[in-house]
Every structure is written in structure tokens, then in C-alpha cells.
């Protein structure tokens, strides 16, 4: 089996999740290529060295440009915050590297367009890690919708709710500053939701949005980088939160369906709840990421009096990806979605075929998210 060498930029939360994925992909799946954890890159040498040793990255580097310059690297894994994606991706594509990029894709439409253009020009495989498409229950939802089991779609109702910053003492990390994060939950969380909506329902053609700011000043953070949604205050005073705390959107899809989105970091009790409901003429679906092995499915064509939302435990061998894991009823978790992504990405490279989501679908997502920010400012509907 052919090997591919990976260089990873970034080593925090996503660095771990990606490393684990590269390691597990060929163990549980028959990948067409063997990923090699070649070089890990980060600004703090000591930290990146510890990370590399832990996860088996063969070498380390502190300057990402040097990683890209190397001839022996086939894949650049971009696991940094979003403000660095553009520069790294452009350089990687120009160097002919395949790209496995964390979300959100970029800081604006212009960056996203350019990233896509340069990748296409250089014919590299580009993958954007909206990993929730590869939750088996979500992939099953796609299969049901695509095969017509739900009929015409009327409604998409989605929320992504977290609570990690409801404490006013939570510091001003990079996620809360516009220059590093671009926006708040609209960028971080709704990017996932819009990606799923486009995947499951289709193209969005109008957007109306509203944002809210609940806590506008916070203690300065001990350090700007946080990898695990936890951080300490530096004790050096406070600063302005420059991103929104919550973002709501209503959209209309090209196929006539309507949708709603609600992304917030202020929903106490919700740790990582991404839930969506889909209602169609023939059936309905409900999903919740905190219980990701389940998909609720209502078949409107069922027998009168016996219809109801069925809780499908998507762990059967008939379900997407699942036959590679454990027997039915033995559930999988969050990290498995990264493994599925790694497998499909490696296979796409091996077969020289595209994989989605990618910079093309990502550009569409960024377009919707930006329209949302614009709508929230201008207080009117934006037509795409």
C-alpha cells in the first residue's frame, strides 16, 4: 500500500483529534493509502515536541512554511484557528500539497474564493472538515433524504448550543476576538449547521439573521491559544468581546423549504448540542449530536395508528461506516467522525476523485454566514 506523508500545522484540540484519526483510519478501515505522521508543526517548540512524541509524529517544526516547502510531504493538515487558514492553504496548494483543513474555512468570502481557486488551479485534493456529515446517523439522514424517503422537504430547524462562556469570568480567548475568529457562534457553530443544511436540504437563497451580545467585556486571557474550550485569566485587566454571543438565522432554500438556525454559547446545560429537525411530505427526522448514535425517523406512509418517531440506533452493519466498528448496539463517539473523514480523504487522493465537504461547498457556507452577518447589521433579508 502506498504511503502518504502528512504535515500537521497546529497541535491543540484539533491536533489531537486529527492525529487520532490518521492513526485509527487504517486500523479499522481498509484505506487505499497508508498515512504517515511525518511532521508536526507549532509555534512553541517544547509543546509541539511533547505533542509529537505523544502521537508519534516523526519530526517537529516551528515554522509552517518550512513544512510546506518539504518535498516529502503529501498532505498538509491545517489544524490551526481560522485566521491562519488562508495563508497556509494558499501556500500548500501552490506547493501541490493535498489539504485537510479544519473549519471554519476562512475569514471571508474573498479568502474562500481564492483558496478554492488556487486549489483547483493546482489540482490538489481539498477537504474541509465539517466532520458531522460523517456521523453515521447523519449520513443515514442524507441517504433517506436523497432516496426520496422524506419526499419534498418543508422545514429545516436547527440549533447548535453550548455554554462554555456563560461565566463572565471566562477570559477573552482568541475565539472571542474578531481579528482571530472573524465572528462568534455564527462562524464557529453555524458553519457546521449551514454545511449540514446544504448537504441535507440544498442550496440557500435568502438569509435573515439576528445576533446578540450578552457579555461584552471579559478578563484578558492568560494566553491567546486555547485548544480545549478552557482557559484562565491573565489578571491583566479586561478587554472588549468583539464577536457576537449568539446568532439566529432564518433561510429559504432554492427548493422552497424554509430553515432556521440558532447558534449560541449561552445555553446553560447544553455542552455541545447540535440538533436538527427535518420535515418533509413523506417523513421527518430528528438528530442531536450529544446522542449522536441515534436518528429519529417518522415515516408518514406508515399504517394509521402505528406511526411515530422511531429511534434508530445507527450502529447496525447496514448503517454508513458502522460495519467497520463494533457489533450493533455498541456505540461510537465524537472522534470517530474524524476517522471517517480521514478514510474518505485518503481514498479520494488515491483514486484522484473529489471529496466533500471541500473548499467549494465551504465557499457556499461562508457566503451564507457572511450574508447572515450582513443581515444582522442591516436588519433586512439578504438574497444570495
d(CA 50, CA 60): 10
Of 28 and 83, which CB lies nearer to a copy of itself in the complex structure?
28
Identify the three-state secondary structure at position 253.
strand
Q: Which of 353, 362, 371 is nearest to 113 (CA)?
A: 362
Q: Which three cell numbers stand for residue 191?
A: 458553519
Cβ of residue 308: shortest distance to a copy of itself, in angstroms? 4
DSSP string across 258-280? EEEEEEES--TT-SSEEEEEEEE
Of 4 and 278, which CB lies nearer to a copy of itself in the complex structure?
278
Cβ of residue 15: shortest distance to a copy of itself, in angstroms? 12
Cβ of residue 162: shortest distance to a copy of itself, in angstroms? 7
Residue with cell 503529501: 74
Cβ of residue 337: shortest distance to a copy of itself, in angstroms? 10
CB 128 within 8 A of CB 348: no
What strands, in cross-sheet order, belong to the sheet with 204-212?
A: 294-299, 283-288, 273-280, 153-161, 258-264, 246-253, 204-212, 382-383
Of 304 and 353, which CB lies nearer to a copy of itself in the complex structure?
304
Backbone angles phi, psi at 281, to 5 degrees: -65, -25
CA distances from 305 to 87, 299, 301, 302 (A): 58, 12, 11, 9
Cβ of residue 167: shortest distance to a copy of itself, in angstroms? 9
Of 117 and 273, which CB lies nearer to a copy of itself in the complex structure?
273
CB 106 within 8 A of CB 100: no
Backbone angles phi, psi at 206, to 5 degrees: -145, 150
Of 254 and 318, which CB lies nearer to a copy of itself in the complex structure?
318
Cβ of residue 35: shortest distance to a copy of itself, in angstroms? 14
* E strand or H helix that includes residue 215: none
Of 92 and 189, which CB lies nearer to a copy of itself in the complex structure?
189
CB 170 within 8 A of CB 231: yes
Of 8 and 292, which CB lies nearer to a copy of itself in the complex structure?
292
Cis, peptide link before residue 258, omega less than 30° from 0: no
Cβ of residue 260: shortest distance to a copy of itself, in angstroms? 6
CA distances from 312 to 134, 140, 318 (A): 16, 10, 12
Of 51 and 359, which CB lies nearer to a copy of itself in the complex structure?
51
Amino acid at each position: 500500500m502506498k504511503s502518504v506523508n502528512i504535515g500537521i500545522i497546529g497541535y491543540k484540540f484539533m491536533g489531537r483529534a486529527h492525529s487520532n484519526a490518521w492513526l485509527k483510519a487504517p486500523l479499522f478501515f481498509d484505506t487505499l493509502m497508508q498515512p504517515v505522521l511525518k511532521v508536526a508543526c507549532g509555534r512553541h517548540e517544547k509543546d509541539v515536541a511533547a505533542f509529537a512524541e505523544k502521537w508519534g509524529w516523526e519530526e517537529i517544526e516551528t515554522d509552517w512554511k518550512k513544512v510546506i516547502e518539504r518535498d516529502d510531504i503529501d498532505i498538509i493538515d491545517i489544524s490551526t484557528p481560522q485566521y491562519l487558514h488562508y495563508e497556509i492553504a494558499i501556500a500548500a496548494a501552490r506547493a501541490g500539497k493535498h489539504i485537510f483543513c479544519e473549519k471554519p474555512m476562512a475569514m471571508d468570502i474573498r479568502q474562500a474564493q481564492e483558496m478554492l481557486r488556487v486549489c483547483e488551479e493546482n489540482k490538489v485534493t481539498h477537504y474541509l472538515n465539517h466532520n458531522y456529515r460523517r456521523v453515521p446517523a447523519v449520513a443515514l439522514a442524507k441517504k433517506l433524504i436523497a432516496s426520496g424517503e422524506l419526499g419534498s422537504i418543508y422545514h429545516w430547524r436547527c440549533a447548535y448550543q453550548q455554554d462554555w462562556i456563560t461565566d463572565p469570568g471566562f477570559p477573552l480567548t482568541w475565539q472571542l476576538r474578531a481579528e482571530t475568529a472573524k465572528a462568534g457562534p455564527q462562524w464557529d457553530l453555524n458553519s457546521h449547521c449551514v454545511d449540514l443544511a446544504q448537504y441535507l436540504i440544498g442550496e440557500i437563497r435568502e438569509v435573515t439573521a439576528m445576533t446578540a451580545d450578552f457579555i461584552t467585556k471579559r478578563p484578558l486571557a492568560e494566553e491567546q491559544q486555547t485548544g480545549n474550550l478552557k482557559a484562565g485569566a491573565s489578571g491583566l485587566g479586561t478587554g472588549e468581546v468583539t464577536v457576537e454571543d449568539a446568532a439566529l438565522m432564518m433561510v429559504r432554500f432554492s427548493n422552497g423549504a424554509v430553515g432556521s438556525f440558532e447558534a449560541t454559547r449561552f445555553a446553560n446545560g447544553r455542552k455541545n448540542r447540535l440538533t436538527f429537525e427535518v420535515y418533509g411530505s413523506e417523513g421527518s427526522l430528528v438528530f442531536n449530536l450529544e446522542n449522536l448514535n441515534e436518528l429519529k425517523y417518522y415515516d408518514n406512509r406508515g399504517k394509521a395508528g402505528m406511526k411515530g418517531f422511531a429511534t434508530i440506533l445507527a450502529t447496525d452493519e447496514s448503517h454508513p461506516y458502522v460495519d467497520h466498528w463494533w457489533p450493533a448496539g455498541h456505540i461510537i463517539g465524537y472522534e470517530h467522525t474524524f476517522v471517517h473523514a480521514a478514510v474518505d480523504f485518503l481514498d479520494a487522493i488515491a483514486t484522484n476523485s473529489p471529496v466533500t465537504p471541500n473548499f467549494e461547498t465551504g465557499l457556499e457556507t461562508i457566503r451564507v454566514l457572511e450574508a447572515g452577518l450582513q443581515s444582522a447589521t442591516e436588519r433586512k433579508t439578504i438574497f444570495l
